[in-house]
């Protein structure tokens, strides 16, 4: 039972609904972390957007880097320090993917003054693209923004290059920092549902920075390492709390490309890579009537390689190679209800989370069955949360499946999601 609809006042809603607003300048290539060196689809698109093989000039910014032993979000095998991480990426972009030039930009916590150094600003001005590595996004705010969160000369130069058409790529923290508005900084889905968000968290609490990131992505909240770490619960909880009606979650080794489509006259987002991207729409969401938090009627869409989304009109375009599952479902019934819908770290195995990508597995299977709904519960039980996944006729829930590049992929649109105690 529900008591009220959310009333959205966020500027993000206007951007999403009014054509012509929120136009991208250059392109954003937002990777969900875990970017593999051999992901040619992402790296080659990056080089292409930066001018092409033999022309692209890439500035690598790894100020977010911290020792790998302290950072599960580190983007490469060698994340011991900023310089080593930066030179690793620069060498990869030059030697493997054909950048004409790729250089580490020497700005980090040990070189904060360089964010105002004219020589470094000149180095930035010579680039056609920038790559932000993973780690801790708060380090990026410390070195590239002032204490009042204004742009340093280095960030101002990067912003000017972007406005003139340069491409900005990021992975993990390097993606999270691109957001405008509230920026998620940590936490697990279960704690998010139970306790809500904090600006000064502890343990696995949902943490966020209300001042946001660098403001290049202004279409909603943004999260990374998404399906692998079951972050659906935490981003929905934060979107509800901060009154932001849209949220995006990018899987590992996967990118969300955001750029202008000149022929359409609007921004278009495209999924590239191995996993997928979630788009959550909370405009119809309703809060529960009890004393504990519950949320109903969230719409979740999951896009995979080649799929596109146009935020200003709300249009989804399913990529070639995938066809509708309606009338050709393989199974009569959905999977048995799962007891770890958010891939809890407390349900750990030899390689970490015992059930990574569980939300995707369960929801994609629903569309490949003739069932109209299924559910999952949190691994934690004190209290336990229930997540109902429903094919909605009202919102035209629709699944698609096909083989793209030798990989079997399932996408779906407008799955209805309810979260409550059970």
Q: Which residues are catalytic?
A: 172, 225, 252
Distances in whole angstroms, Cα of residue 103 to Cα of each of 126, 143, 212, 262: 11, 18, 27, 31
How many other CB atoms sit within 10 Å of the CB of residue 394? 10
Cβ-based neighbours of 267, under 8 Å, separated by 6 or more: 22, 23, 24, 219, 258, 259, 260, 261, 310, 311, 312
Q: What is the rounded distance in angstroms from the CA atom of residue 54 to the CA atom of residue 47?
A: 9
User: With contact defined as beta carbons under 8 Å apart, do 278 and 301 qualify?
Assistant: yes
Q: What are the residues facing 268 on neighbouring strands?
A: 259
Q: What is the rounded distance in angstroms from the CA atom of residue 69 to the CA atom of residue 214?
A: 27
Longest dimension (CA), the chain: 65
Q: What is the rounded distance in angstroms from the CA atom of residue 195 to the CA atom of residue 241?
A: 11
358: enclosing H helix or E strand: helix 358-367
303: enclosing H helix or E strand: strand 295-304
Alpha-carbon torsion (131, 26, 9, 314), positive or negative: negative
Q: What is the rounded distance in angstroms from the CA atom of residue 128 to the CA atom of residue 166?
A: 5
DSSP, res 151? B
């Amino acid at each position: 039972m529900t008591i009220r609809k959310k009333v959205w006042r966020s500027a993000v809603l206007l951007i999403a609904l009014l054509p012509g607003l929120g136009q991208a300048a250059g392109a954003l290539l937002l990777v969900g972390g875990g970017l593999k060196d051999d992901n040619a689809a992402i790296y080659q698109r990056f080089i292409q957007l930066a001018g092409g093989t033999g022309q692209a000039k890439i500035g690598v910014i790894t100020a977010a880097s911290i020792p790998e032993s302290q950072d599960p979000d580190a983007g490469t095998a060698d994340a011991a320090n900023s310089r080593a991480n930066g030179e690793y990426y620069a060498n990869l972009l030059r030697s493997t993917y054909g950048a004409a030039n790729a250089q580490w930009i020497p700005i980090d916590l040990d070189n904060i003054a360089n964010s105002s150094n004219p020589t470094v600003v000149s180095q930035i001005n010579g680039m056609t693209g920038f790559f932000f590595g993973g780690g801790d996004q708060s380090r990026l705010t410390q070195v590239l923004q002032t204490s009042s969160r204004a742009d340093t000369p280095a960030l101002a130069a990067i912003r000017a290059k972007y406005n003139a058409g340069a491409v900005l790529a990021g992975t993990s923290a390097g993606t999270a920092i691109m957001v405008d508005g509230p920026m998620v900084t940590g936490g697990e889905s279960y704690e998010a549902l139970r306790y809500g968000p904090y600006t000064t968290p502890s343990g696995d609490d949902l943490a966020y920075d209300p001042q946001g990131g660098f403001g290049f992505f202004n279409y909603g909240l943004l999260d990374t390492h998404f399906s692998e770490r079951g972050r659906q619960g935490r981003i929905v909880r934060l979107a509800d709390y901060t009154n932001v009606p849209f949220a995006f979650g990018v899987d590992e080794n996967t990118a969300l490309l955001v750029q202008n489509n000149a022929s359409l006259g609007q921004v278009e987002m495209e999924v590239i890579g191995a996993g997928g991207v979630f788009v959550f729409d909370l405009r119809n969401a309703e809060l529960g009537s009890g004393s504990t938090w519950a949320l109903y009627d969230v719409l979740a869409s999951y896009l995979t390689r080649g799929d596109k989304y146009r935020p200003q009109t709300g249009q989804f375009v399913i990529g070639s190679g995938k066809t509708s599952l309606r009338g050709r479902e393989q199974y009569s019934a959905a999977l048995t209800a799962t007891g770890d819908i958010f891939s809890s770290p407390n349900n750990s195995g030899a390689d970490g989370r015992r059930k990574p990508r569980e939300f995707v597995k369960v929801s994609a299977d629903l569309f490949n069955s003739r069932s109209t709904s299924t559910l999952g519960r949190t691994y934690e039980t004190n209290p336990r949360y229930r997540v109902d996944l429903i094919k909605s006729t009202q919102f035209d829930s629709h699944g698609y499946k096909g083989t793209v590049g030798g990989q079997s992929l399932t996408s779906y649109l407008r799955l209805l999601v309810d979260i409550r105690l059970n």
